[in-house]
Amino acid sequence: MTARYDIDHQTFWADPYPDLDQIRTLSPAVEVPQLGAILITRRDDVFEQEKRIETFASTQPAGLMTVLMGQNMMRKDGAAHQAERRAVFPALSPRTVRDHWTQAFATATDRILDDLAPRGAADLVRDFAMPVCGEALKVITGLTDMGADDMDRVSQHMLDGCANYAGDGDVEARCHDATAFIDAHIDAAVTRLSASPDSSVLSVQLQAGLPMDAVRANVKLVISGGQNEPRDAIAGTAWALLTHPDQHALIRDGTATYLDAFEEYARWISPIGMSPRRVDRKDEVLGRTFKPDERVFFMFGAANRDPSVFENPDRFDILRDTSKSVAFGAGPHFCAGAGATRVLIANIALPKLFGRFPDIRLTGDAPFGGWAFRGPLKVPVAWGSA
């Protein structure tokens, strides 16, 4: 008999982990009718099955991301996926990040901290992490005329649309407005970048001769994956260190690094909580029969708290071995921007924040929300005499 589990949308959004613990214990693959999907929650199952694209396909013509944002490389498999990934790679390669983006990230972060310093207080989500990621994305995408606040707004509206499994019409409308806004900025940038190519995601795709529908979809993918999740990880990791001073002390005395803290936070909270797939062929695996066109969610957030893999998985421990974390995915769709994200967060944003404000402290609660994408809604802090 097929395992089934019912959730309450609001409760699941506020804190999915109690339900995910129950689902993971119940069965390897569990139907959740409120999400219209079968959830795979155990770490080793996610790690193995995500690679089996012949059954669990990323190509989803009727999927929310494809319908709302266009068919990007994340929603393609095999040769089509690899061709577009190769076209985008020059913008995100370790050499490009080192030679082109790192200094731009650092300069923008310093400027943001300079503006914040006299205030003595801030919301780390809105006032620090959001503009840090927005400024980084402007140069990475090539959409340098877009404001950092606009980058954050359109990313949030696209991600809300991609997680809109409840079918909220207002959420869908905001997503359409966001994609139209991005298309207008792409159109304005194409002429400039065609005349003066650079290393941005938009430019390298134009140089590779990708069709414009793919170019547009991949730029939107980079925005949706490069704004909210790093934003939430910067603010969330800072919150985790502020609420676990013993862990932060390990960084201050050289026992651990900010990269260790970020990797553990990404396991613990999983800013990208799941990845959807479409069943492409009938298959019997994980104790059930999967049928064509069924929807499957690989639940990274649940996998990263699997107690059979991670000891005391609900504990934030920056000395933990996170090598089995699937925070960035596991298969051929492993996050192409992982390297740039690590540099931005662990090499620049966190050390510069705590270096500039060594006495930074929380001044209120930091509520979290989301399950497909999860992060703090606000992180109020102060420094100095504020």
Supply the pLDDT for residue 262: 98
Tens of pLDDT along 147-169? 989 998 998 899 889 888 888 99
The fraction of the chain above a pLDDT of 90, given in percent, is 83
pLDDT of residue 280: 95
Average pLDDT over residues 333-341: 83
Predicted pLDDT at 123: 98
Confidence band, pLDDT 50/70/90 cuts, at residue 255? very high
- pTM (2 d.p.): 0.92
pLDDT digit string, tens, across residues 276-328: 999 999 999 999 999 999 999 999 999 999 999 999 999 999 999 999 999 98
Residues forming a β-bridge with 369: 375
Query: pLDDT tens-digit profile of 92-130?
Result: 999 999 999 999 999 999 999 999 999 999 999 999 999
